[in-house]
Amino acid sequence: MIPRYSTPEMAALFSDQARMELWLEVELLAVEGWAAVGVIDPAVPVELRRRAPKVDGAFVAAVEERERVTDHDVAAFVDVVQAAIGAPEGSWIHYGLTSSDVVDTALCATLTRAADLLVQGVDALVAVLKARAAEHIGTVMTGRTHGMAAEPTTFGAKLALWCLAADRDRTRLERARQALSVGKLSGAVGTYSNIDPAVEAHVCAALGLTPVPATQVVARDRHAELLYACASLGTTIETIATEVRHLARTEVGEVEERFGSGQKGSSAMPHKRNPILSERLCGLARLLRGYLGAGLEDVALWHERDISHSSVERVALPDACGLAYYMVRRCTGLVEGLVVHPERMRSNLLDASHGVVFSQPVLLGLVAAGVGRDVAYRIVQRDARLAWEQGRPLRRILDEDPEVTVDHAVLDAAFDVGRSVRHVHRFLDALASVP
């Protein structure tokens, strides 16, 4: 991922240095496993660890230089490691292994750590959404469907629903982490023909992974599950950001992104305070979803393996994890710093709508008073339209309408915003079980 959308902690997991450090650890653990089953002198793994090369920039450069000859990254890595250790002990490196034993096991270890970071990121997002939902559960505003004024709701209800969605994304990430917390050291087609299963068990135990049956590679539906969890999280973030963009529009003006001291909204128009972070998050969500399609196509490989997935994963997995983590952290900051304008929300609901948002309770009040539903519907529809066209309160038009013969108390109840949002506590009740 380009530095603009990277975070140091996630980028570090997928660096060449971190990748080769894990490769080396898998190799050294495998030799320990061979010693544990009595194939190798127990002194060998001790000596290998003592003489193992330091994986730094120079080491990575040496592997890259060797790969120009081998045209095979793992073979180049093994050559450089064996040369650094020297004979005869170095010859035990990669004993009985195939490249995917090292690469896939190390990759799964990396992805479990990436998933841990992502879960921590979602933890913070859920916490701030939950707090702000409680803060604004009584902040009444216009509910909108099809982009049009519908009925009253509260801003806290929106925040609560976003919190529940983020919590579901957290569960998906935790499941994906479990699916990826596996390893395999079972040889070229997964049959342990040249390696003892005990070696696999030793390596996986040391890395906190579970050995699983495999072909030459770990099944890629596991990786696709993580990409889905990332894409789903990105879509939840996009949902939040899209709503912020709409509510921040000049003619709505109900929320705005935090605007920093010295920040400029436009190079040309000094008055501008654009929802740039929300727009950025919406754009990145599109990119993040694209990696899921590629990951699903990586599941079906030829026979026991091919490497059509390899080139995809070198880009898709680091970028998806990096983007998802960047997005969840930025979204947390967006929600935490969001400036809310309750007075504008209330004005848009009660004044700008001319009261037409109460059309359904008026309709129900007429029906309950004995007016036929279709007749009542036509009365309220007509009067609501007059309210819009004349810019007058619907309540006043209803009072003047000779066909509306119900008691004033019925209309008073229909236009009571408190009645409309009297059950919003259920949103907070739903958050009670969210950690």
pLDDT digits (tens, 9 = 90+) for 294-311: 999 999 999 999 999 999
Q: Are residues 109 and 35 in the same domain?
A: no
Q: Are residues 268 and 363 in the same domain?
A: no
Q: What integer pLDDT is reported at residue 266 of this predicted model?
A: 86
Q: What integer pLDDT is reported at residue 124 of this predicted model?
A: 98
Q: Are residues 62 and 157 in the same domain?
A: no
Pairwise CA distance, residues 97 & 103, whole Å: 11
Q: Are residues 369 and 389 in the same domain?
A: yes
Asked if the bond preceding 88 is cis, omega within 30° of 0, the reply is yes
Residue 386 banded pLDDT, cuts 50, 70, 90: very high
In the predicted model, what is the mean pLDDT of residues 372-385? 97
Asked whether residue 283 carries a pLDDT value surpassing 90, the answer given is yes
The separation between CA 233 and the C-alpha centre of its own chain, rounded to angstroms, equals 2
Beta-carbon contacts of residue 221 (< 8 Å; ≥ 6 apart): 299
Residues annotated catalytic, as ranges = 146, 266
Q: Read off the pLDDT of residues 62-120 as tens digits, 9 standing for 90 and up.
A: 999 999 999 999 999 999 999 999 999 999 999 999 999 999 999 999 999 999 999 99
- Over the Cα atoms of the chain, what is R_g? 30
Mean pLDDT of the chain: 97
pTM of the model: 0.95
String of b and e for 11-50 (b: at least 16 CB within 10 Å)?
Answer: bebbeeebbbbbbbbbbbbbbbbbbbeebbeeebbebbee
Residue 1 banded pLDDT, cuts 50, 70, 90: confident
In the predicted model, what is the mean pLDDT of residues 191-217? 98
The DSSP bridge pattern shows strands 255-256 and 339-340 to be antiparallel
Give me the CATH number covering residue 15: 1.10.275.10
Q: Are residues 165 and 312 in the same domain?
A: yes
Task: Answer with the one of 95, 116, 132 that is the final residue of a domain.
Answer: 95
Q: Are residues 80 and 187 in the same domain?
A: no
Q: Which residues pair with 211 in a beta bridge?
A: 183
Q: Are residues 36 and 185 in the same domain?
A: no
Q: What are phi and psi of 182, to 5 degrees?
A: -135, 165
